[in-house]
Structure 1
Amino acid sequence: MSTNRLKAPVTSIDEQALVLLCQQLIQTPSYTGQEKGVASLLKDTMLGLGFDRVWIDAVGNVIGEIKGALPGPRILFDGHIDTVEVSDEDKWSVAPFAGELRDGHLYGRGATDMKCAIGAMVQGLAPLIAAKNTLAGSIFISGTVCEETFEGIALGKVIEAVQPDCVVIGEASGLSLKRGQRGRAEIAVTTLGKAAHSSNPAVGKNAVYMMMQLIEKIRNLPVSHDSFLGDGILELTDIISTPYPGASVVPHRCRITFDRRTLVGEAEDTVLAPIRQAIAELTAGDPSFAAEAEIVSASQECYTGAVLSGSRFFPAWVLEETHPLVDGSLAALRQTGLDPALTKYSFCTNGSTSAGVHHIPTIGFGPGREDGAHVVDENIEVEQLIGAAIGYQAIAAKFLLK
Structure 2
Amino acid sequence: MTRSASFEGALAFAADLIRIPGLPGREADVAARVRQEMEALGLADVRIDDAGNVTGIARGRGDAPPVMVNSHLDVVAEGEHSDWEVPPFSGEVRDGCLHGRGAMDIKGPLAIQTYAAAALIGSAPGDVIVAHTVLEERGGLGMRHLLESGSVDPAAVVLGEATHGDVCIGHRGRAEVEVVIEGIAGHASVPERAINALDLLGDVLAAVRDVALERPTDPVLGEESLVATMVDVLPETRNVIPDHVVVAVDWRVLPGTEGPSLLARLRSHIHARVGTLPSGLTYEVRLATERQRTYTGLEEDVGLFSPGFLMDAEHPVVRAAARAAGRRFEGTGAATVRPWRFATDGGWSCGVHGIPTIGFAPGEERYAHSNRERLDVEEARWAFQRYPEVITAIQRALAG
Flag whether TM exceeds 0.5 (same fold). yes
Structure 2: gaps (5+ residues) = none
Structure 1: distance between partners of 2:115 and 2:44:
15
In the aligned structure 2, how far is the partner of 1:352 from the partner of 1:324?
19
- State how 1:2-401 maps to structure 2 within 5 Å: 14-131=6-123, 135-150=124-139, 152-159=140-147, 160-221=150-211, 222-243=214-235, 245-288=236-279, 289-334=281-326, 339-400=334-395
Supply the distance in 2 between the matched residues of 1:172 and 1:114 (Cα, whole angstroms): 8
Report if aligned partners of 2:88, 2:101 keep a CA contact under 8 Å in 1.
yes
Aligned to 1:9: none
Q: Which amino acid aligns with 2:157?
A: V
Identity of aligned residues (%): 32
Number of aligned residue pairs: 386
Contact 1:33 1:146 in 2 (8 A): yes
1:8 corresponds in structure 2 to: none
Contact 2:165 2:361 in 1 (8 A): yes
Return the alpha-carbon distance in structure 1 between the equivalents of residues 36 and 116 of structure 2: 16
Q: Deviations over 1:32-62 (max 9, x none)?
A: 1111111111111111111122111111111
- Deviation of 1:142 (Å): 1.1
Higher relative contact order (CA 8 A, sep 6+): 1
Of residues 196-205 and 66-75 in structure 1, the stretch that sits farther from structure 2 once superposed is: 66-75
In structure 2, the CA distance between the partners of 1:253 and 1:309, relative to structure 1 (3 Å rule), is: closer
**How far 1:124 sits from its partner (Å)?**
1.6
CA shift, 1:15, in A, is 2.1
Q: Is the 8 A contact 1:154 1:308 kept in 2?
A: no
Structure 1 residue 130 displacement after superposition? 4.0
State whether residues 13 and 390 of structure 1, in contact with CA within 8 Å, keep that contact through their aligned partners in structure 2.
no
Q: How far apart, in 2, do the equivalents of 1:235 and 1:284 lie?
A: 22
Contact 1:71 1:136 in 2 (8 A): yes
SS of the equivalent of 2:175 reads: strand
**Higher mean C-alpha displacement, 391-400 vs 30-39:** 391-400
Go from structure 1 to structure 2 and tell me whether the alpha carbon gap of 1:269 and 1:228 turns closer, same or farther (over 3 Å shift).
Answer: same
Amino acid at match of 2:164: G
Pairwise CA RMSD of aligned residues?
1.9
What is the Cα deviation at residue 247 of structure 1? 4.3
> Hey, what's the Cα distance between the residues in 2 that align with 1:379 and 1:34?
22
User: Counterparts of 2:166 and 2:327 in 1: how far apart (Å)?
Assistant: 14
Give the residue type in structure 1 aligned to 2:126. G
- For residue 215 of structure 1, what is the amino acid of its counterpart? L
Superposed CA deviations along residues 287-330 of structure 1, whole A, max 9, x for unmatched, are 43521101112221111111243221111111111111101111
Deviation at 1:237, TM superposition (A): 1.6
Deviation for aligned residue 1:390 = 2.1
